[in-house]
Amino acid sequence: MENINQKKANVGVISDTHGLLRPEAIRALGKPDLIVHAGDIGSAQVLETLRGLAPVVAVRGNNDVGGWADALPEVDEVQIGEVRLCVIHNIKEWKRGEHSSVQIVISGHSHRPSVEHKNGLLFLNPGSAGPRRFTLPVATAKIRIVGKKVTARIVELRV
């Protein structure tokens, strides 16, 4: 588990790049304190490029295979100041009981961007920043943490 000892943080969130890290996605992430990749990364090169921008927390998606991907966890937690978030690729595999102290759950897999508040938790799916799927938007997301206050928004990319 990563621990960022800051009361304020900007987090860039990306998922489902499938080996395609668009320049628009890099610009949309801005200059975050942390980047979270919610799986289906596609290659070690994507992570290397992201690590050149900020520290990265990444989880393995169902399409991430091979030696580089084997080192990635399927689920990870990050503590940022007073806020804890959980990262998992497929939200259907998330078990609240195993992650009872989190305030934010970040997932990917569906390629559908969404920000939802349910049962006292913030559920964020940044959508897919990689190849377009059907008519779904190409997107990333941003999280702003100030103390215990959390805001999240989807950033749709023009591609």
**In the chain, what's the furthest Cα-to-Cα distance?**
40
- The strand pair at 149-156 and 139-146 is best described as antiparallel
Q: Give the pLDDT score at 93.
A: 95
Q: Give the pLDDT score at 97.
A: 83
Phi–psi pair at 92, nearest 5 degrees: -65, -15
**Matching CATH number, 2-156, of 3.40.50.12780, 3.60.21.10, 1.10.3470.10, 3.40.50.300:** 3.60.21.10
CA 138 to chain centre: 14
All residues at 6 or more sequence positions from 83 whose CB lies less than 8 Å from its CB, including other chains: 103, 104, 145, 148, 150
Q: Give the pLDDT score at 7.
A: 86
All residues at 6 or more sequence positions from 149 whose CB lies less than 8 Å from its CB, including other chains: none
Low-confidence ranges of the chain (pLDDT < 50): none
Q: Give the pLDDT score at 98.
A: 80
Q: Give the pLDDT score at 142.
A: 98
| Distance from C-alpha of 134 to C-alpha of 150, rounded to nearest angstrom | 31
Regarding pTM above 0.85, the answer is: yes
Q: What does the pLDDT look like over 24-70, one tens digit per residue?
A: 999 999 999 999 999 999 999 999 999 999 999 999 999 999 999 99
Q: Give the pLDDT score at 75.
A: 97
Q: Give the pLDDT score at 68.
A: 96
Domain extents in the chain: 2-156
